[in-house]
Amino acid sequence: MTDSTHRLLVSVPELGDPNFEQSVVFIVEHNDDGALGLVLNQPDGTDVLDHLPSVDIPLVEPAVCFRGGPVSPGSVLALGRRSVTGELRHAVALTGPVVLVDIEQLFEGHVGGVDGLRIFAGYSGWSPGQLDAELDAGVWFVVDAGPDDVLCSDPAGLWRNVLRRQGGRLGAVARYPEDPNVN
């Protein structure tokens, strides 16, 4: 098993699954029980404050909901950025400044030590061994997350930017055309 926890899955150019076409997925957890991740570059355009007007933590731009993946699209998850001051409450540190926020506590206004927030509808999930099989088949590139990837302000450019900075073969993949039929 390749442990991809807290790393990025970057889809190959012609993955063939519209849910993950040119996507970047942050893996929250990957173990023998399966894997859970959130797609970082699929904003859905819905204003978060239309649905959660009482959120008292600033939203990371763009301040819209994101599609976290095709599993349970009615569920809500939140990632945040840990503040340099204040005690972390009702959030779990993942990597660097990235935290997973307890959504119920967020709705009740009890989250602390978080100074930026992004909301995801649904998530990406893999059953035991499923992600490992996909990795073995070469449908994902696994790369380290940069400090600004998870809560990036330019989700549209994230797939190309992550690949480009890898250099070599992966850097060349970043030049893959938007529509290869028009190349």
pLDDT in tens, 160-169: 999 999 988 8
Conformational region of residue 31, where left means phi above 0, alpha means psi within -120 to 50, and beta covers everything else: beta
- Contact between residue 45 and residue 16 where contact means Cβ atoms under 8 Å apart: no
| Residue 50 confidence (pLDDT) | 82
**What average pLDDT does this structure show over 35-44?**
97
Q: Which of 90, 92, 110, 82 minimizes the C-alpha distance to 36? A: 92
At residue 139 the predicted structure's pLDDT band, cuts being 50, 70 and 90, is very high
- Residue-range domain boundaries for the chain: 7-178
Please write the tens of the pLDDT for every residue from 84-124. 988 999 999 999 999 999 999 998 999 999 999 999 999 99
Give the CATH fold of the 7-178 domain: VC0467-like (3.40.1740)
pLDDT score recorded for residue 120: 97
Residues 48-72 have pLDDT tens digits of 888 777 888 999 999 999 999 999 9
DSSP class per residue in 30-47? EETTEEEEEESS-EEEEE
134 near 125, Cβ under 8 Å?
Answer: no
Question: What is the structure's pLDDT at 118?
Answer: 97
pLDDT at 16 over 60: yes
